[in-house]
Amino acid sequence: MKRALWFLTIFTVVMSLFYLEPIYFPLTEATQSANPQPTDTLPNDSSNAITPLNYDKLTAAGFSVYINKPVSDLEKVFGKPINTQETGLGYTIGNYEDGIRDLFIEVNIKADLVQSIKVAGKSTDKIAPFDFGMSLSELTDITTLFFHFDFDYKEESFDIELTEEDQNYRPLIAFDNETFAILFFGQDHNELYAVDYLNKETLLRLMPYQINSENTLAYKLSDFSEEKWQEIANQNALRSKMLIAYLREQEGYDSYVSNLELQLAASQLIEALNENQIPLVTESSKKTWQSIIPEKENGPASLLTTDAFLLDNEELEKERVIIAAKPIIDPSFTIFWWYSDPYLHSRFISNENQRLEIAFAKESMIVLLEKEMQETDESETQ
């Protein structure tokens, strides 16, 4: 009898705890994440996505601590720039060296303040709080990834939304010092290869994501002479080719070569395109290019690729790939972005040996890729 009473007492206590548990121990966020709903991808609709005001902010670390600070703070650690360049778009560029790591470091400077720091490196390099070569899943061990970001800049509100592809290859991370970082993940192994630390102004001027606000920040072209713009164009082309060579090296590919013929073709094409003299296949292609008004547009560059152009037989025989884009507000950022795009990345890592040439005209850019001929051309240059 005593044993029966003891059993009933224990049974009553257990059942009470079982039914009271949902009241006194509600399902926590950690418990919810441990029991996710079956899904193949992260939701990206307004009914499921986290509200804009709820995004997390990481503690500022690494290069993010220099954003919005005097460039002299950065130079106390990295020294003077190895080269500098005017852009004609309201900021200057400086490249810096790391004494220990083989990093690509490019800094955007405006009024002696750091606006943006673009960094690329090898898979063994660490740039707090991230590691080059880390996977997207390893990034989620550091922070939650968000689709929506809502913030104020100069008393105006902005709402940014990322697509699923953005989330997988170009996620946006916020820091607690009111700065951001765009992380670039590769197509082949989905590993981190570059980061752009930037302030709100630079993010809004580049605006690589969908913006759900009427307010935008346009760029302004400097009132430079044609000779000065040509100097900037030459510097942009050289800088872009060097960055592509660096990224190809990280993936185990040789550098491209070029020759005078391809250089001339790129120069002629960018000039004709800007003067609306290049034959385009469709009216929509023409309107796309002509509708971009200087100093009025921002956001991701509009692209025209090979299919949009009417090529002559000689160009077809050489199987030339053409990429035309504008506005290019930041060439290095654009190349990082292209490298994370499945279509464009495949063009830059073709297993076939290819020639590369790039030309600029103010905010317009032409990229020519060409299969290398079997015969060695004496005019080829590295």
Q: Are 200 and 153 spatial neighbours (Cβ–Cβ below 8 Å)?
A: yes
Report if residue 11 sits inside a domain. no
DSSP SS3 for 87: coil
Last residue of a domain, one of 211, 242, 275: 211
Burial of 101 (0-12, 13-18, 19+ CB in 10 A): middle
Residues in contact with 81: Cβ distance below 8 Å, sequence separation at least 6, in sequence order: 75, 94, 95, 96, 107
**Taking Cα atoms as reference points, which of 199, 163, 155 lies closest to residue 181?**
199
pTM above 0.75, yes or no: yes
DSSP SS3 for 118: strand
Judgement on whether residues 87 and 174 belong to the same structural domain of the protein: yes
Query: Which phi-psi region, left, alpha or beta, contains residue 58 (left: φ > 0; alpha: ψ -120 to 50)?
Result: beta
**Taking Cα atoms as reference points, which of 161, 239, 191 lies closest to residue 340?**
191
CA atoms within 13 A on the CB side of 254: 9
One pLDDT digit (tens) per residue for the chain, 382 residues: 444 444 445 444 444 444 444 333 333 333 333 333 333 334 444 334 444 447 999 999 999 999 999 999 999 999 999 999 999 999 999 999 998 888 999 999 999 999 999 999 987 888 989 999 999 999 999 999 999 999 999 989 999 999 999 999 999 999 999 999 999 999 888 899 999 999 999 999 999 999 988 777 888 899 999 999 999 999 999 999 999 999 999 888 888 998 898 999 899 889 888 777 666 656 676 676 766 655 555 556 777 777 767 555 454 445 678 888 888 999 999 999 999 998 888 888 876 658 999 999 999 999 999 886 554 444 445 4
Judgement on whether residues 70 and 164 belong to the same structural domain of the protein: yes
Task: State which amino acid sits at residue 172.
Answer: L
Report if residue 112 sits inside a domain. yes
Per the DSSP assignment, residues forming a β-bridge with 183 are 195
- Return the CATH number at 314: 3.40.33.10
Query: Where do runs of H (alpha helix) occur along 87-225?
Result: 136-139, 164-169, 200-206
DSSP SS3 for 152: strand
DSSP structure class, residue 289: H
Judgement on whether residues 258 and 231 belong to the same structural domain of the protein: yes
Cα 352 to the center of its chain, rounded Å: 26
Last residue of a domain, one of 211, 244, 271: 211
Strands of the chain (E only): list them: 83-86, 92-96, 104-110, 113-120, 126-127, 130-131, 148-153, 156-161, 172-174, 180-185, 192-198, 210-211, 302-305, 321-326, 354-361, 364-371
Q: Are 379 and 334 spatial neighbours (Cβ–Cβ below 8 Å)?
A: no
Judgement on whether residues 154 and 255 belong to the same structural domain of the protein: no
Report if residue 33 sits inside a domain. no
Report if residue 173 sits inside a domain. yes
Strand 364-371 and strand 354-361: pairing? antiparallel
Q: Which domain holds residue 107?
A: 52-211
DSSP SS3 for 188: coil
Report if residue 272 sits inside a domain. yes
Cα 200 to the center of its chain, rounded Å: 15
* Rounded-to-integer distance, Cα 26 and Cα 20, Å: 10
Burial of 315 (0-12, 13-18, 19+ CB in 10 A): middle
Total tally of structural domains belonging to the chain = 2
Which residue has 């939701």 as its token pair?
43
Per the DSSP assignment, residues forming a β-bridge with 105 are 96, 119
Report if residue 278 sits inside a domain. yes
Judgement on whether residues 271 and 308 belong to the same structural domain of the protein: yes
